[in-house]
Structure 1
Amino acid sequence: MKKTLIASLLAFGALTAVQAKDIVDTAVAAGNFKTLATALTEAGLIDTLKGAGPFTVFAPTDAAFAKVPKADLDALLKDKAKLAAVLTYHVVPGKVMASDVKAGKVQTVQGSAITVTTANGVMVDNAKVTATDIAADNGVIHVIDSVIMPK
């Protein structure tokens, strides 16, 4: 009886498997990270950010990427090593929720530290955090309004 009920519900679409979304799928579903998705693809980082993690990603929106001069962005997208360095500078190992953020230096996956300030809202280097705690099954995304560059 139980198997028949489940089979019937599946057949009618009343019961579907829920698949958790990783950081990449979560960002793509949001709709305002198209340039980031393109950059992650060009840098060969999609599989990494679909991995187990956990990761904390400070994700620049399409509007943030639009602040980068077109010639600079085009050159960056063609330089896989530099692009990977810039993108991994936006990623911190572990899952850091907004309530856990403290001012100071934080080591990135790229190897350099970003500077986090909390005086007038949260800033990461020169980028303002505009949305926080977008949960994914392998970490969390915090939205930033500018692309940050390693020194």
Structure 2
Amino acid sequence: MTQDTVATAASNNPLLSTLVTAVKKAGLVDTLNNTQNLTVFAPTNDAFAKLPKATLDKVLADKTMLTKILTNHVLATRLGPDKIVGTHQTLAKTSDTVSGTVPTLTVKGGATAKIICGNVQTANANVYIIDTVLVPAS
């Protein structure tokens, strides 16, 4: 994954296939692949499966809502484990707050998720794989 940009790297990870589908539907592949120094909280397929099917279908059909939710998972700065704890502004102009200590970290961005795998390096981002989709408060 270290040689690929973040969206490309995610597309090569079978645990993130629902996220990749959502990123494609939102038209965010180029943004994620061409922007340098990102931090991405990447929900697993199981995280998306926690959403009721009707809710997931509705979000996937609404590009504006989908874009807001997905950009709520992206920070415009690249943060390693030594800098990730704290409150950070997302590309959606919302805030995500990471708390805890390595290796037991959570991120709150509307919902609260456990970071199940952290500091995965890609060519342009640090990725933290999470167990819940961070749906921002309306």
Structure 2 length-normalised TM? 0.90
Counterpart in the other structure of 2:71: 88
1:147 to 102, 115, 133: 133
How far off its partner does 1:81 sit? Answer: 0.3
Counterpart in the other structure of 2:96: 114
2:115 to 111, 129, 135: 129
Counterpart in the other structure of 1:5: none
How far off its partner does 1:34 sit? Answer: 0.6
Counterpart in the other structure of 1:66: 49
Deviations 1:123-148 (A, max 9, x none): 11110000011111111110000001
Matches of 1:46 and 1:25, distance apart in 2: 8
Q: In structure 2, the residue corresponding to 1:94 is in which secondary structure?
A: coil
Q: What letter matches 1:86 in structure 2?
A: I
Q: What letter matches 2:134 in structure 1?
A: I
Q: 1:53 aligned to 2:36?
A: yes
Q: In structure 1, the residue corresponding to 2:118 is in which secondary structure?
A: strand
Counterpart in the other structure of 1:9: none
Q: What letter matches 2:119 in structure 1?
A: D
Q: What letter matches 1:147 in structure 2?
A: V
Q: Sequence identity, in percent? A: 36
Higher strand share: 2
Q: What letter matches 2:93 in structure 1?
A: G
Matches of 1:99 and 1:29, distance apart in 2: 27
Matches of 2:84 and 2:7, distance apart in 1: 22
Structure 1 length-normalised TM? 0.83
Deviations 1:34-91 (A, max 9, x none): 1000000110101101103211100000010000000000000000000000000000
Between Structure 1 and Structure 2, whose CA radius of gyration is higher?
1
2:9 to 26, 29, 34: 26
Matches of 2:124 and 2:65, distance apart in 1: 25
Matches of 1:107 and 1:135, distance apart in 2: 20
Unaligned runs of 5+ residues in structure 1 are: 1-18
- For the aligned residues, what is the CA RMSD? 1.5
Q: What letter matches 1:109 in structure 2?
A: L
Unaligned runs of 5+ residues in structure 2 are: none
Q: What letter matches 1:142 in structure 2?
A: Y
Residues paired across the two proteins, number: 132
